[in-house]
């Protein structure tokens, strides 16, 4: 067995690494080009350090929009190439269009081409280094689960599907009365008394305890966990690991006393944050409605030919504090789409018209919701507003579901940008986990992350 301790970067650490070295490699590339060749467009000087700062901001902003910091994208050669081209092109264009904060345009236009090629090659070279070395198996973190036998498969899939560099290679069965052994794929069953030896031989760096039943944790197992903790191993509770890696709240593993598990973000009561958010919401809404007015003649024409019916439709939705309001959208479905009763929309829904599919993919169908935002029924960012009939049905099955209503529903949100359209109750559970994560961690940083992901959704035509 290999007892070498692997180096492992957490998800947040890898994202920071990508952001920092994107800028470092680009600036280093520009410095080298300027030092070796007669490249005068971008010069390094303490007096004009703002040039570098603005370039760094553009790289990070457009990198976020074009998914440069999505770890699944960052580990795929083709997607890295696509994202690098888009990020480089947009960054260079915007940089050239802000002459107050960037160098004066050179008389020799070839220098602009050199600038573009240098930024692209620096970004792409660094990303190939990341794919080749930092995204390889040499940085895998090995972990052990302590849980009930019937939980193994679900818990392993829940963690490894999010972080491919996180591998659970063994588990200890906490079901004290079960004498059966169960190996799921490469997850080996470990006897309680052999836990310390297994951890030592396999380079385990983290032990995850995933059961709330205490009778399975015997005195001997407890002493082993204490010894491993003292020797520098990480011993963590499953819900904390799950939340940090998936950015969702695992409501299926916690009891109804929610206040113990997710004290809500202070931003939910922070007056400065709420007032600032409201000012931005009104501003965004006015801009959004202005864009809607520009597009309205074309939408009216297409609606007359391909939708053949009313342009708008309204529907009852549940808002903050459980208050029901009417949402306004452009109609995307055929007439009498729910004559048989309310049902979840689904992928390739036959009720959606061809023009309606375009409106949904581009999110244009949601432009009228800016009226709901101006009225105060909705926010720009928040949980998706659900219909009363579905709220009643889901709340009877899922704990915490109505917790979504402590803040305003949103035009976009953490669940909307991270998960596809819900077709069934199981999908609603996953989206609920994302919604509760947003409520718990609500902040300006998370709002910006959602904004960038929403822009990516529109640009890459991924609307539902």
CA-atom Rg of the chain in angstroms: 26
Rounded distance between C-alpha atoms, residue 314 and residue 323, angstroms: 16
3-state secondary structure of 171: strand
Under-70 pLDDT residues of the chain: 1-8, 46-47, 136-138, 176-185, 212-215, 254-263, 336-348, 421-423, 463-464
Strands (E), 298-454: 312-318, 324-330, 379-381, 410-412
Does residue 435 contact residue 413 with C-beta atoms inside 8 Å?
yes
pLDDT at res. 340: 61
How far, in Å, are 297, 331, 380 from residue 292 at the CA level?
9, 14, 16
pLDDT at res. 210: 85
> pLDDT for 90-131, tens place per residue?
999 999 988 778 888 887 888 899 999 999 999 999 999 998
pLDDT at res. 240: 86
pTM value? 0.84
Rounded distance between C-alpha atoms, residue 167 and residue 140, angstroms: 7
CATH for the stretch 140-246: 3.40.50.11060
Rounded distance between C-alpha atoms, residue 61 and residue 146, angstroms: 41
The structure tokens listed for 132 are 């080749």
pLDDT at res. 7: 62
pLDDT at res. 138: 64
Q: Where are the domains of the chain?
A: 11-134, 140-246, 266-459
Does residue 177 contact residue 151 with C-beta atoms inside 8 Å?
no
Contacts of 343 (CB under 8 A, 6+ apart): none
* Burial of residue 404, with CB atoms counted within 10 A of its CB: 0-12 exposed, 13-18 middle, 19 or more buried: buried
């Amino acid at each position: 067995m290999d007892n070498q301790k692997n180096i492992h970067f957490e998800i947040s650490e890898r994202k920071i690494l990508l952001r920092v070295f994107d800028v470092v490699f680009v600036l280093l590339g520009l410095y080298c080009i300027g030092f070796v060749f007669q490249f005068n467009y971008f010069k390094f000087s303490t007096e004009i350090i703002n040039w570098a700062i603005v370039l760094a901001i553009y790289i990070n902003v457009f990198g976020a929009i074009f998914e440069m910091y999505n770890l699944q994208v960052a580990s795929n050669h083709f997607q890295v190439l696509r994202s690098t081209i888009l990020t480089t092109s947009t960054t260079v264009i915007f940089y050239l269009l802000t002459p107050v904060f960037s160098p004066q345009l050179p008389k020799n236009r070839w220098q602009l081409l050199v600038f573009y090629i240098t930024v692209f090659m620096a970004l792409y070279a660094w990303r190939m280094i990341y794919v080749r070395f930092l995204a390889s198996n040499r940085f895998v973190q090995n972990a052990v689960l302590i849980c009930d036998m019937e939980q193994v498969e679900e818990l392993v899939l829940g963690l490894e599907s999010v972080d491919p560099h996180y591998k659970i290679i063994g588990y200890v069965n906490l079901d004290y009365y079960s004498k059966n052994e169960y190996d799921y794929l490469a997850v080996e069953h470990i006897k309680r008394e052999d836990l310390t030896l297994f951890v030592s031989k396999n380079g385990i760096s983290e032990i995850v305890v995933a059961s709330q039943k205490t009778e399975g944790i015997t005195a001997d197992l407890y002493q082993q966990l204490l010894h491993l903790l003292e020797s520098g191993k990480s011993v963590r509770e499953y819900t904390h690991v799950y939340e940090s890696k998936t950015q969702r709240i695992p409501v299926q593993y916690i009891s109804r006393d929610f206040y113990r598990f997710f004290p809500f973000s202070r931003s939910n009561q922070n007056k400065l944050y709420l007032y600032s958010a409201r000012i931005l919401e009104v501003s965004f809404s006015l801009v959004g409605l202005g864009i809607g007015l520009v597009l309205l003649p074309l939408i009216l024409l297409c609606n007359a030919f391909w939708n053949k019916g009313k342009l708008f439709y309204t529907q009852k939705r549940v808002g903050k504090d459980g208050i029901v309001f009417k949402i306004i959208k452009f109609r995307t479905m055929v007439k009498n789409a729910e004559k048989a009763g309310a049902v979840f929309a689904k992928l390739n829904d036959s009720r959606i018209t061809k023009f309606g599919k375009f409106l949904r993919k581009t999110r244009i169908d949601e432009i009228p919701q800016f009226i709901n935002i101006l009225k105060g029924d909705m926010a720009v960012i928040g949980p998706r507003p659900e219909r009363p009939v579905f709220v009643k049905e889901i709340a009877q099955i899922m704990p915490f579901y109505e917790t979504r209503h402590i803040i305003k529903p949103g035009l976009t949100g953490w669940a909307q940008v991270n998960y596809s359209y819900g077709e069934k109750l199981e999908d609603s559970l996953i989206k609920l986990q994302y919604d509760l994560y947003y409520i718990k961690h609500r902040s300006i940083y998370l709002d910006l992350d959602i904004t960038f992901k929403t822009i990516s959704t529109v640009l890459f035509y991924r609307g539902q």
